[in-house]
Structure 1
């Protein structure tokens, strides 16, 4: 059995196959997922698991060099936005690097999910609680 915090075999498998600049997304319950992109559905019911629970665990097991957020999160979901920024800062400190942050319109964000290796669907039911994580290298 793995010693890490991450137990979900589908998420572990996707993370283990990521190369430099490959991306995955973590989305709220309503984020449309392209048919061409692997869906890892963790949603059980409203807000279970939450976006932040999933993001916090995945970010402990992934080298992240860049994140993409929808521009709309700043105004429509400032609480989650601030918690994301705080976690990104923590991740950067742990990785000893600066994680770049890019904001795009939500429509563009949805288009970018088609290039992701997978989208992890959470039970989150608050607006724009979505993120694309770009893989970095630890060397």
Structure 2
């Protein structure tokens, strides 16, 4: 049994299979999930687990070289915007409709129980060397 880190076996296994350039969509409970990517649905109740909790756990396990989020996050969800600004190396902002289009190329989707608007980010995996 793992001692620390992400304990969810489906999520831990999916993360282990990612490579350089692969994308992971971390999304709120309302984000439409595209057909195709592997989905690990962590949503339990509204707000549980939160976007912040899941993003924090993922950033502790992944090398992230860039990220994309909806520009609307700045006005509609300043707390989530601040979280992204603080935790990500390079953040691109696009219209929400464009983020939904881009999410179709994600290799993995991690759905949270977040119930605040625009708490979605597409992470681009980097390498540790």
What TM-score range do you get, normalising by the shorter chain?
over 0.9
Unaligned runs of 5+ in 1: 89-98
**Equivalent residue number for residue 58 of structure 1:** 58
Query: SS where residue 82 of structure 1 aligns?
Result: helix
Counting matched residue pairs gives 129
Query: SS where residue 12 of structure 1 aligns?
Result: helix
State the distance in 2 between where 1:4 and 1:64 align. 20
Matched, 1:21 2:11: no
State the distance in 2 between where 1:84 and 1:101 align. 8
Following TM superposition, the consecutive aligned residue runs of length 4 or more in structure 1 with deviations greater than 2 angstroms are none
Kindly state the Cα deviation for residue 2 of structure 1 after the two structures are TM-superposed.
Answer: 2.0
**Equivalent residue number for residue 67 of structure 1:** 67
**Equivalent residue number for residue 9 of structure 2:** 9
| Equivalence map 1:100-111=2 (5 Å) | 100-111=90-101
Judge conservation of contact 1:65–1:135 (CA < 8 Å) in 2: yes
Matched, 1:121 2:119: no
Q: CA offsets, 1:51-104, max 9 Å, x none?
A: 10000001100000001111110111111111221222xxxxxxxxxx211111
State the distance in 2 between where 1:66 and 1:3 align. 29
More deviation, 5-14/65-74: 5-14
Judge conservation of contact 1:25–1:113 (CA < 8 Å) in 2: yes
Unaligned runs of 5+ in 2: none
Kindly state the Cα deviation for residue 5 of structure 1 after the two structures are TM-superposed.
Answer: 1.6
| Equivalence map 1:92-107=2 (5 Å) | 99-107=89-97
State the distance in 2 between where 1:125 and 1:24 align. 19
**TM score, norm. by length of structure 1:** 0.89
**TM score, norm. by length of structure 2:** 0.95
